[in-house]
Amino acid sequence: MRSLDEKAGPAGLSKSRRERFDLANLTKAFEQIERDIQTKKLSKDEERKLVAKSKEIATRLYALKIIHKKEDRYRNISSQYDSIKAKMNGIFDLKSELGNKIGELKKSLDVLLNLRESLYEERRKIIREVREAAAKLEMVETQLNAIEFRRSRIQASEYRQRKQKESGERRESRYEVAQERAKRSKENQDRWNTLKEAALKKMSSGEKLTFEEMKLIFGDSNNPD
């Protein structure tokens, strides 16, 4: 392994600048210097230079560790930022999507409200038509009841007139029957009287009487039959 003096030249300085950003190489160099200090026989000047170099590398290692720590923290913060940014973008996208859905829901709600108003208007129209129809039906029912009442009165009047007519006809018929019966009875009585008178004349003349003639003479004078 080359000594630190050999690394002190221009090439060593260039490599040293590169090592500022190479934590692994600086760590190896620091460990090598520590071993050289502990194992090699060095003059006081060489030991002083190595100690100074060790302090320089330790300082640079500490600075690099701080830088790496900050870089890790920065990367962590950057990663968190990217994650938060992605979440925010997702939230914004979701917000936009929700906004679109809210807009669609609002349109649907407007359509439903218009439909509800149309249905209410149709309902009011139907109720009005039903009420008008009910009023017309009630008026027609009243007229039908009046017609039925007049018809029943006419039928009752016709029935009374028919009954009176039938009663008069029956009375007239009974009178005619009585007259006809009286007429037949008178005719029978006259015929019976004539036959009886003829039978009496025949008996007074001494002629022989028949059974019917005897019945006429000696039978019930009030029953010509």
Q: Which residues contact 67 (CB under 8 A, 6 or more apart)?
A: none
Provide DSSP, the chain.
Answer: ---TTGGGSHHHHHHHHHHTT-HHHHHHHHHHHHHHHHHS---HHHHHHHHHHHHHHHHHHHHHHHHHHHHHHHHHHHHHHHHHHHHHHHHHHHHHHHHHHHHHHHHHHHHHHHHHHHHHHHHHHHHHHHHHHHHHHHHHHHHHHHHHHHHHHHHHHHHHHHHHHHHHHHHHHHHHHHHHHHHHHHHHHHHHHHHHHHHHHHHHTTPPPPHHHHHHHHS-TT---
pLDDT at 126: 92
pLDDT at 21: 56
Q: Which residues contact 214 (CB under 8 A, 6 or more apart)?
A: 199
pLDDT in tens, the chain (225 residues): 444 444 444 444 444 445 445 778 878 888 888 887 888 777 788 878 888 888 888 888 888 788 878 877 888 888 888 888 888 888 888 888 888 888 888 888 888 889 888 888 888 999 999 998 988 888 888 888 888 888 888 988 888 888 888 877 777 778 888 888 888 888 888 888 888 888 888 888 888 778 787 877 776 555 555
pLDDT at 50: 80
pLDDT at 225: 55
Structural domain boundaries in the chain: 6-79
- C-alpha to C-alpha distance for 46 and 40, rounded to whole angstroms: 10
Q: Which two tokens stand for residue 166?
A: 């039938």
